[in-house]
A and B are shown apart, each in its own frame.
Chain A
């Protein structure tokens, strides 16, 4: 089967030429007799009409949207690391409304059951006492958290968000493959799939009368509101993420944005007075509800795993005191025990007094002697699921094992039977996937989502379908992966358009979520400003240098030209701090042949201070505050990422070729600056970004002027240098207009050093910095000016009071403008101190918490 993907797909007469479902499995589109089910016909017609070219175009469009929106999925252990683009198939999974109603009923019952099960296990444990469920099954599960026993659960709803993986068995009935109770992921991807698909196939989507998803997310918002311990409108919800390296970080940021909640990491939070607080720059903001995407055992180093750095010390106690609600409740992992499946019918009768509507796959828990006996006798035809919290441990398909591996498994199973669960092998139903310009059947799993409301559970009408990329059986795991599909529940009647912002709904004042910039976020924004400016400044300088190297060589006197170039190359090394470069040891050789060093700065992926490294840092900082950047800004960040890959991937040795790639890059960087300026709320977050940008530009300018204008040069060399500096500072046109009589150092300094209206002058940066420092948040106890404020003011005053005549006059015997050098050095030092002062005042994250245990054995007892 795997080979299929490698062979080029032959063009086919019709869309479904290759559509031959395996006889032993159920297919979503074709009946066993080979007929297309009626609810698929319209879709097929539309796709056929589009034709191969039309399909190809839609596919490209979908890929572009996904890339632009930055939809990614990280895979643990992937050398590519972060941000692998999400894959979406153009063909949705179609479900008829009548069938969906059945599934929905089953899902709602199951959610209620799981909820009751949690309450019993962490409460009276009647099921264990009655023997409906073996105590050992529960007690041996690493997700059964003793610390959570007896904690009162808000509204008796520990299971707020719930997801179920389903497939259709051979008999046409839906079967549950697994339950997701910990912090179910995928709802954000489902929404994004819908957004993309409805844009790529708008008329098909409209005419198919698909159930809308927005209602589900409104239910999520309602649910969060009812869970708040303080029931007033200002209650505040945060989405807790493990951070940017988590597999589903995109979704955490996406959902936080879509629902209007603050995205936080453990280090942003603190427990005080028995309640949970967000540490913003000015004050502590109370958090009422946490939509938790950190696995429960990592949530509190005091009560749970003490080596966790992702959680918040004291959080369990805050929950126990009823001052904050976690959704889902801590301890919900135990409900994911695969062995529960076999006991659920009995539990359902016991807890709900009903028969279980949605059946799971046949399951045996090896901790039970009789079930273990059965498993050992039938091992070679079963699927084994290890009971573990480790997401990397996959299920084992015994039919694929050789005898030696089977023996080994048998031994492991007998040594620790309670750690293994066996399930019957259920071939997944297949659904059509568009490959090339044909569709083919591929195994499919549907993940459906539920949210708890006061009077029961609400089911998302649709869900996230996943198909195996290689056509082989999809290993159902906690991790997502594979190709995503939208899921369309076809309504008989068209539905009204809905968004989260329906006029009918009472709006939660979002203003309360405004001041939520934590130290971590401010720090990242500051560095985004610095890196973006650093990259832009570097590209501008590189362009001017290359221009001087190539275009001007023939025109000017080579020796003059060489002199000018040397200054510029030195400035390049100073600005990027890539010593020795053109300054230290071996500088002469590099000057003689400047190309390799420049090429290395532009293309070498790991060179500190080089262009790729700077861009990478920019992208990483942006990714860490993904939720703070607008869609358009994010699109530009993605562009920058693409340019970055282009720079480092191609092993081009020609500088001129590399140079061609710098033009789109500078466009993207300029667009980034413009968007952050125009599309970001000018609140404190933006102020830090802006401060970073101004500070970086100021430092670069001081360095540039110091390297190029401090040494006294003769005409015509001086003119060339002045022109180059004007080029780098983008001030050539203004200069020509203002100072028509030739080029002089004094005039240049007037424009790029002291002029407060030229956005590229040093004075301009300092004016902005001084203002920003004044406006940054401060504690109410702060008297007078802050340290950063004083530093900015000192540098600005220094520049304002400087006499240009004195600055430009070299000392008699020296060929250096020492007064200029001194003031530039002072400004550069002042700016470096300013950066440190900002860090000390605003970004000094509280130290990592430490754990201490008392110990025994000091004395002989």
Chain B
């Protein structure tokens, strides 16, 4: 499936901002199953400095600084991506999770070495109270890895309420656990913490999800959203994605922009600014299907 994605972020400030430094994780990743045909970031007003580098996880990071006084900052990411669903091994054929855990410690090639980093706690996906117990219910001894992950995803989807008013970017996992509610970011963090508490490698995936309008209605502009889910590491295969918010194994409707230990590593847009007073934020994402030529 081919998509054209327009992701607009607009900050309006009540007072002029004299200087700001920003970091964006907005360009889609190229990897097996995802080909990037276009990636462009437009910044308004014109940035005095704009640079791109690859971070530790291979994401493309765009840094830009605006050095003129401004009251509105608009960042538009334009991407064109082709997604081909990867063939996943059937869950029951994958190795037992304990076996995966034990293998991990001896992985020394690049992917495996990174996976060892993803098996450790991170600031937003740490071992909050109750996390390990929650994980154990899905990972009984000897259970194949992907079966367990699928089960965990389903339980989070069923037992946690989606509530955008309950959490912020800074809500700790313990709060999410206690109140059983949150947004995609919280569910991803929870699943990641669960897997890591068992010694498994799990990472945070940031990207987009195509939403389809109810039958018979036309799609609203800007109704799509940036989204987040998790992936678990299966040795000799690689990373397998799971979307606990929708109880879905991402196939054709998920587009990946960045991966990291948790949200903090891949914040889509982050900025430090001087001045500005109060601010208002607007985000609009459009994800259109593009017909094959």
**Are B272 and A857 in contact, CB atoms less than 8 angstroms apart?**
no
A860 at the interface (CB under 8 A from B): yes
Q: For the complex, is A738 an interface residue (Cβ under 8 Å from B)?
A: no
> By the criterion CB–CB under 8 Å, are B184 and A851 in contact?
no
Number of A-B contacts (CB under 8 A): 135
> Could you tell me how many residues of chain A have their Cβ less than 8 Å away from some Cβ of chain B?
43
Shortest distance from the beta carbon of A847 to any chain B beta carbon, whole Å: 6
CA A313 to CA B56, docked complex, whole Å? 20
Q: For the complex, what is the distance from the CA of A274 to the CA of B66, rounded to whole Å?
A: 11
Contact pick for A854, options B9, B224, B272, CB 8 Å: B9
Complex contacts, B105 vs chain A, CB 8 Å? 136
Provide the bound-state CA to CA distance between A821 and B118, in Å: 76
Given A139-B120, A854-B268, also A129-B109 (CB < 8 A): yes
Q: Render A299-325 as a binary contact track against B, CB cut-off 8 A, 1 for contact.
A: 001110010000001100100110000
Q: Which of A135, A313, A320 contacts B21 (CB 8 A)?
A: A313
Q: In the complex, what distance in Å separates the CA atom of A135 from the CA atom of B118?
A: 11
Segment at the interface with B among A145-153, A203-211, A425-433, A768-776: A145-153
Chain B residues closer than 8 Å to A837, beta-carbon distance: none
Residues of B within 8 A of A313 (CB): 21, 272
Q: Which residue of A lies closest to B50 (CB)?
A: A274
Question: Quick one: which of B51, B56, B120 contacts A140, CB cutoff 8 A?
Answer: B120
Indicate if the CB atoms of A302 and B23 lie closer than 8 Å: yes
With A130-B108, A317-B63: A861-B184 Cβ-Cβ less than 8 Å: yes
Most buried by A among B18, B63, B281: B63
From known contacts A857-B184, A858-B283, infer whether A850 and B21 are also in contact, taking CB-CB under 8 Å.
Answer: no
B256 an interface residue at 8 Å Cβ cutoff? no
Contacts of A562 in B (CB 8 A): none
Chain A residue numbers with a CB within 8 Å of B268 are 854
Decide yes or no whether A131 CB sits under 8 A from chain B: yes
Q: Do residues A317 and B21 form an inter-chain contact, with CB atoms below 8 A?
A: yes
Q: How far is the CB of B267 from chain A (nearest CB, A)?
A: 5
Task: Please give me the residue from chain A that is nearest to B23 by CB atom.
Answer: A302
| CB pair A146 B184 closer than 8 Å | no
Which residue on chain A has the smallest CB distance to residue B285?
A859
List the B side residues contacting A847 at CB < 8 Å. 274-275
Contact of B270 among A135, A150, A273, A851 (CB under 8 A): A851
Is the C-beta of A703 less than 8 angstroms from some C-beta in chain B? no
Assess whether A128 is interfacial by the CB under 8 Å rule.
yes
Contacts of A150 in B (CB 8 A): 53-54, 56
Cβ contact within 8 Å between A846 and B18? yes
Residue contact B169 to A855, C-beta cutoff 8 Å? yes
Q: Is the CB of B108 within 8 A of A272?
A: no
Cβ of B226 within 8 Å of any chain A Cβ, yes or no, is yes
Interface 0/1 of A767-807, CB less than 8 Å to B: 00000000000000000000000000000000000000000
Cα-based distance from A272 to B19 in the complex (angstroms): 9
B56:A857 contact, CB within 8 angstroms: no
Q: Among B9, B63, B113, which residue has its beta carbon within 8 angstroms of that of A128?
A: B113
| A861 / chain B contacts, CB cutoff of 8 Å | 184, 209, 211, 224-225, 227, 245-246
A856 pairs with B67, CB closer than 8 A: no
Binding site for B on A (CB under 8 A): 125, 128-131, 135-136, 139-140, 146-147, 149-150, 270-274, 301-303, 306, 313-314, 317, 320-321, 418, 846-847, 849-861
- Beyond A129-B109, A271-B21, A851-B270, list 5 extra A-B contacts (CB 8 Å): A136-B119, A847-B275, A849-B273, A859-B164, A861-B227
Enumerate 17 A-B pairs (CB-CB under 8 Å) in ascending A order: A135-B116, A136-B119, A272-B67, A302-B22, A302-B272, A303-B23, A306-B270, A314-B65, A320-B51, A846-B19, A851-B272, A854-B226, A854-B281, A856-B225, A857-B185, A857-B225, A861-B211
- Interface, chain B (partner A; CB < 8 A): 9, 11, 18-19, 21-23, 48-49, 51, 53-56, 63, 65, 67, 105, 108-110, 113, 116-117, 119-121, 162, 164, 167-169, 183-185, 209, 211, 223-228, 245-246, 265, 267-276, 279, 281, 283
